[in-house]
Amino acid sequence: MVEQHSSGNLDAVFKALADPTRRDMLQRLASEALSVSELAAPLDMSLAAASKHIQVLERAGLVRRTVQGRTHTCRLEAGPLHAGMEWLRHYERFWTERLDTLERLVRAAPSSPQRRKP
């Protein structure tokens, strides 16, 4: 059975991951901490737009932002991804079991007779 995680936290993680811009940001943050400017630059978006995406990631607990002077630096916090992975792992097991059963049935089925040429 799927473990009960805080529904709000899991919802926030999946909401954050639902957007390709935020997934791109997370992928780049997996390599190094980046400023908001550095996160926004390759995405051709304003700092305000980038900041809104980062706020969604922060609410999900996936990003921690630190401020030093006028520079906002973001770091990946991968811990909340674990709850999402656990939730998905349940369904991975579900489909693996179903496919294993199908494979056993196919292997156990008698081979179809070869057709004779008329």
pLDDT 10s per residue in the chain (118 long)?
A: 344 445 678 999 999 999 999 999 999 999 999 999 999 999 989 999 999 999 999 999 999 999 999 999 999 999 999 888 888 888 888 888 888 888 888 888 887 666 556 5
Give pLDDT, residue 111: 73
Closest CA to 81 of 96, 60, 100: 60
Is 66 within the bounds of a domain? yes
Rounded Cα distance, 49 and 72, in Å: 14
Is 97 within the bounds of a domain? yes
Distances (CA, A) of 75 to 31, 35, 61: 9, 9, 11
Is 116 within the bounds of a domain? no
Residues 78-105 as b or e (16 or more Cβ within 10 Å = b): eebbebbeeeeeeeeeeeeeeeeeeeee
The percentage of the chain sitting over the pLDDT mark of 90, rounded to a whole number, equals: 60
Angle, helices 47-59/7-17, rounded to nearest 10 degrees: 150
Is 37 within the bounds of a domain? yes
Contact 79, 30 (CB under 8 A): no
Is 115 within the bounds of a domain? no
Contact 65, 73 (CB under 8 A): yes
Give pLDDT, residue 59: 96
36: domain CATH number is 1.10.10.10
Is 114 within the bounds of a domain? no
Is 118 within the bounds of a domain? no
The two three-digit tokens of residue 89, written as one number: 């792992």
Contact 74, 16 (CB under 8 A): no
Is 92 within the bounds of a domain? yes
Enclosing domain of residue 88: 1-108
Domain count across the chain: 1
- Mean pLDDT taken over the chain: 87
Does the predicted model carry a pTM greater than 0.75? no
